[in-house]
Amino acid sequence: MLARYTFVDPNTNKYGRRGAPSLVYGTLTWVRSTIVMQAGSVLARGVTIATRYCAVRRQFQDRDAPAGEAETPVLNYTMVQIRLLPLLAATFALHFTGKSMMDMYQENQKKIAQGTASNAPSKRGAGPEEVQSGSDMLADLHASSCALKSLSSSIAAEGLEVCRRACGGHGYSNFSGIGPWYSDYLPTTTWEGDNYMLTQQVARYMLKSARSVLQGQKPTNDTTQILSDFHARRNIGCAFDVIGSDDDLVSAFAWRVAFLTFEASKHRDEQKKPWNDLLVDFYRLSKAQAQYMVVKTNLSALRTIEKEGKVDKNILDVLMKLFRLFAMHTLEQEGAEFYASGACSKNQISLARTNTVMNLLKEIRPHAVRLVDAWGFDDWVLDSSLGRADGKVYEDLFHRASELNPLNDITVDPYPDSDVLFKRIEKSKL
């Protein structure tokens, strides 16, 4: 917290900075980038347990099934699918995003080593936002790591709780393996920057980028590019085919980000609203920016895989369906902002909810168990009766309770001082 002020002038008692910002913030940025990288595998652990258990557990007969039909696997219920399968899609989306985040960090480190990174002392004043327009790679990395750390760790932490509840009553047992993992991971939403506080850092960067565009400066990165495109077309509007085109789907996410950015810029710079009054708007802006980066990176990674030809076409098709599920489910959940920005029509959002997402759930369901198996978690890592690879859930629950519980080897007298018990013993001796 004190890294902002690296020294105090003994003569003037004023705070000051020394050293390159790249070095000062390098470690913090690396940790946040690592959190983004790990979020996918953290969530995948819970999704693996819940998916395997829900595929094994059967409950109730399908109301439309013929008489005598066996009970339905829990994972076949759409109410379970809509909770678990978007999280399954998120594990892969966060994995690709994490790799991209670490690549960006390594590229910045190379620039530092070559002396091309921004090493000049920061000119930012004590106010809450940047006053200098323009951007550099360090600023991009800092803002990206803040936005993605906030979003990815929130998705992982909240997703683990969804997985636990999807397992029913057994999900709250330590034998499920989810509870201890959830409690261990939960502090990640607070350390290395509270997930709500970090969004102010992102908003400051986005406002700075918006000012750069409004001043007529040429785009220097993806953020200023999408802001510039929106600024040039905002009075014309857009017509994105979010249902039928993957590129248009990503563009709709970018349009929403630009809309929220210029709305925040108008409130702050034109209407002069206090910073505190805009914190909720800043949170929404940061979340939108992070979701855009995840969707964009996910599609880019899959197209690179397709171009390299290292993955079977059938596998790639399933991964593309996961990408669409994550993107369309996010669009559905954030439908109000997409509609307000003009990125989507009301009919498109309705179709996404009632048609596209539901069809993707049906298409992904047959592959669900194999997709979680692809993460390669050993049983000893999961430490879960519910998430066993062999599906022997109830056998392992009974084994742990009857054979592995040390209390079974202890004889306990619940009433050691009871007069009734002692008199009974004395009578038996007579």
pLDDT digits (tens, 9 = 90+) for 151-189: 999 999 999 999 999 999 988 988 898 999 899 999 999
pLDDT at 3: 54
pLDDT at 242: 93
Work out the percent of the chain whose per-residue pLDDT is above 90.
57
pLDDT digits (tens, 9 = 90+) for 214-248: 998 888 889 999 999 999 988 887 889 999 999 99
Q: Which of 324, 335, 389 is nearest to 86 (CA)?
A: 324
Lookup: tokens for 366: 């047959």
Measured distance CA(142)–CA(161) in Å, rounded: 29
pLDDT higher than 90, residue 106: no
What letters, b where the CB count within 10 A reaches 16 and e where it falls short, cover 286-322?
bbbbbbbbbbbbbbebbeebeeeeeeeeeebebbbbb
Contact 181, 160 (CB under 8 A): yes
pLDDT at 209: 92
Q: Which of 197, 201, 196, 100 is nearest to 154 (CA)?
A: 196
Over range 63-69, report the average pLDDT.
Answer: 73
pLDDT higher than 50, residue 381: yes
Measured distance CA(231)–CA(27) in Å, rounded: 35
pLDDT at 25: 64
Give the count of beta carbons closer than 10 Å to the beta carbon of residue 233: 12
Over range 322-341, report the average pLDDT.
Answer: 96
Measured distance CA(147)–CA(124) in Å, rounded: 20
Give the domains, in start order, of the chain with CATH numbers. Answer: 2-379 (1.20.140.10)
pLDDT at 82: 96
Model pTM score? 0.85
Among 270-279, 360-369, 419-428, the minimum mean pLDDT is found in 419-428
